[in-house]
């Protein structure tokens, strides 16, 4: 475990008062390690944005403890803000300001900003640089908002849905930029509805539902916790699956759900795969359509929440 840059302990955030109060975050705890990418996943209304806004100092919690870069995001807001990059879900720029003018303005607010022209090129903002903010497309606004969040060289960047509304090319360019931030030692916390994005970028994933963290871990750890991964192959019907089970690691199972179709359940690793192919060779079986099927984050999310994550 490296140095913690975000510590959230038993966070409670409510909207409204009295009987009309709605608890958006209910005893939530999570941490973020320096120079990593942490993804926060959850269905709409799960408490993701409220948690992020509390860490940014925009909301005052009703319970629990929050520390960001060792500081209280509300009491120490003035000291903390220059060290943070914040990408809001929407807004952040004046209606009539041109895109590159806004980015240059934000850059001048920082002591050692990134090169604006570099950001304009990497995020493909040149074509809309002289367009007023109110006339930008949704994707252009997203790219400008991301540039504004990181131009000041933050230690910690909060990115709320950084690729929402982007085309595949712009999404991948954003992924590469986030990976570069991590290599440069920046800690990134992002919310996303794209499972592929979380699997590619995140060192740590927190799944939130009902205002609480219901699972945490690396993408590999989370996918390995789900139902057993499987290996499938086709061969002659009626093979002696008991002898195959005897050759496999303890806890493995073999089924023939349909004649000539075989399913191996257990910890699917190179050793098990080699054992299956060696068993087939020793029994004169040429396995057809041999394939390893692994759970992905979307499978795990569906198992945990009972819902698909909708972009």
Which CATH number fits the domain that encloses residue 56?
3.40.50.300
Of 6-15, 47-56, 86-95, the poorest mean pLDDT is in: 86-95
Using the structure block, give the residue that is written with the tokens 């994707």. 139
Q: Indicate if 138 and 239 belong to the same structural domain.
A: no
Q: What count of other Cβ atoms lies within 10 Å of the Cβ of residue 10?
A: 14
Q: Tell me: do 63 and 84 sit in the same domain.
A: yes
pTM of the model: 0.80
Is 74 inside a domain boundary? yes
CB atoms inside a 10 Å sphere around CB 271: 11
Cβ atoms of 40 and 51 within 8 Å: the answer is yes
Q: How far apart are CA 268 and CA 231, in angstroms?
A: 7
Query: What's the total number of domains in the chain?
Result: 2
CA 199/CA 220 separation, integer angstroms: 8
Q: Are residues 143 and 9 in the same domain?
A: yes
Please check whether residue 105 is in contact with residue 116, taking contact to mean a CB–CB distance below 8 angstroms: no
Task: Identify whether residues 102 and 136 lie together within a single domain.
Answer: yes
Q: Please, are residues 3 and 35 in contact by the beta-carbon 8 Å criterion?
A: no
210: nearest Cα among 306, 81, 116: 306
Q: Give the mean pLDDT of the chain.
A: 91
* 245: containing domain: 228-294
Domain match, 281 and 144 both:
no
**Is there a single domain that holds both residue 170 and residue 24?**
yes
Same domain, 15 and 143: yes
**Weakest mean pLDDT among 4-8, 64-68, 136-140:** 136-140
Q: Is 11 part of a structural domain of the chain? A: yes
Question: Residue 311 in 3-state DSSP?
Answer: coil
Asked if 49 and 17 sit in the same domain, the reply is yes
Same domain assignment for residues 84 and 186: yes
Tell me whether residue 310 is in a domain. Answer: no
Domain harbouring 243, CATH code: 3.30.70
pLDDT of 225 > 70? The answer is no
| 55-86 b/e (C-beta count within 10 Å ≥ 16 → b) | bbbebebeebebbbbebebeeeeeebeeebbb
Q: Which region, left, alpha or beta, applies to residue 102 given φ > 0 means left and ψ of -120 to 50 means alpha?
A: alpha
**Do 192 and 56 belong to one domain?**
yes
Q: What is the pLDDT of residue 308?
A: 61
With beta carbons less than 8 A apart as the criterion, state whether 173 and 181 touch: no
Tokens of 129: 């640089």
Is position 138 within any domain? Answer: yes
Same domain, 260 and 134: no
| Non-local CB neighbours of 281 within 8 Å, separated by 6+ positions | none
Question: What are the tens digits of pLDDT across the range 285-305?
Answer: 999 999 987 777 887 777 777
In a domain, 264, yes or no: yes
> Do the beta carbons of residue 192 and residue 163 sit within 8 Å?
yes
Please, where are the H alpha helices in the chain? 48-56, 77-80, 99-108, 116-122, 138-150, 168-183, 195-201, 219-225, 241-247, 270-282, 297-305
Task: Give the tens place of pLDDT for each residue, 69-102.
Answer: 999 999 999 999 999 999 987 777 889 999 999 9
Is residue 178 included in any domain, yes or no?
A: yes
């Amino acid at each position: 475990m490296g140095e913690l840059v975000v510590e959230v302990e038993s966070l409670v955030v409510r909207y409204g008062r009295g009987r009309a109060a709605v608890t958006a975050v209910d005893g939530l705890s999570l941490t973020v390690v320096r120079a990593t990418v942490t993804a926060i996943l959850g269905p709409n209304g799960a408490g993701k944005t409220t948690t992020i806004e509390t860490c940014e100092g925009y909301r005052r919690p009703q319970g629990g403890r929050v520390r960001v870069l060792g500081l209280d995001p509300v009491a120490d807001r003035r000291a903390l803000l220059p060290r943070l990059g914040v990408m809001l879900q929407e807004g952040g720029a004046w209606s009539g300001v041109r895109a590159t003018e806004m980015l240059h303005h934000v850059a001048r607010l920082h002591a050692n900003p990134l090169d604006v022209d570099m950001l304009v090129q990497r995020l493909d903002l040149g074509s809309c640089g002289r367009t007023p903010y109110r006339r930008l497309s949704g994707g252009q606004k997203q790219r400008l908002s991301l540039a504004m969040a990181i131009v000041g060289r933050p230690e910690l960047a909060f990115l709320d849905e950084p690729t929402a509304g982007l085309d595949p090319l712009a999404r991948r360019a954003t992924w590469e930029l986030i990976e570069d931030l991590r290599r440069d030692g920046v800690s990134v916390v992002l919310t996303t509805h794209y499972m592929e994005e979380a699997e590619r970028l995140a060192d740590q994933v927190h799944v939130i539902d009902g205002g609480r963290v219901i699972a945490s871990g690396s993408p590999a750890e989370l996918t390995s916790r789900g139902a057993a991964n499987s290996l499938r192959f086709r061969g002659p019907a009626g093979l002696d699956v008991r002898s195959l089970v005897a050759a496999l690691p303890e806890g493995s199972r073999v089924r023939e759900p349909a004649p000539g179709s075989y399913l191996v359940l257990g910890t699917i690793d190179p050793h098990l795969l080699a054992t299956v192919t060696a068993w087939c060779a020793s029994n004169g079986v040429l396995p057809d359509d041999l394939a390893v099927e692994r759970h992905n984050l979307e499978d795990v999310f569906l198992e945990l929440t009972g819902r698909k994550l909708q972009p």
